Amino acid sequence: MPSRVVQAYPPGESFPLGNCDNVLVDITGDDGQITTCVAQVQLIFLLNLPHASNLVLPSYLSCPLLYIQYYHFVASPNDRPERAMWTVEHSYVEDQHGKHRCGGVVPLTSATHTVELIPEYGEKMDEKISSAVCLESYDRFFLNNFADKESYHTLSTEFA
């Protein structure tokens, strides 16, 4: 598959809530099983140790890393055959400080494919919502498997 650019821009003038791409990420569990997740890239970074340090980073920390926030699957294409798309929502955890999106840090190489999400607008779209803020304004999305040929083939077989 051709390489793609993954971006995670902080809030700014053009994107008041940031501009963060969504990706498929392969996560290896403690049991060695690989699970594919949908996540939004929030930050791309690389750890650097001071030159005077005698420490050596393990190989999994020496490549670029992604801080991601997870989505979870709520419906399959079979649940809504008229749309033929997966449905995902932001994953949250609640603690003493309130409700927060679930996130984690993974190597850049765990991201296998960029994906497009379409907000589930409901009966009527809020006229104040634009493409610059829609990913942060809604919680539920359709995973667009019709964006390109690679997405169609990946999303038609990946979770079956």
Instruction: Please tell me the pTM assigned to this model.
Output: 0.82
Residue 90 is given by DSSP the state: E
- Domain coverage including residue 116: 8-157
Residue 117 lies in a domain: yes
Q: Write the pLDDT tens digit of every residue in 136-159.
A: 878 899 998 877 777 766 767 655
Q: Write the pLDDT tens digit of every residue in 90-130.
A: 999 999 999 999 999 999 989 988 898 989 887 777 788 77
By C-alpha distance, which of 66, 52, 54 is closest to 109?
A: 66
How far apart are alpha carbons 42 and 155 in whole angstroms?
Answer: 22
Residue 152 lies in a domain: yes
Determine how many CB atoms are found less than 10 A away from the CB of residue 113: 18
Helix (H, G, I), strand (E, B) or coil at 104: strand
Residue 89 lies in a domain: yes
Q: Write the pLDDT tens digit of every residue in 64-89.
A: 899 999 999 999 888 888 888 889 99
Q: What is the number of structural domains in the chain?
A: 1
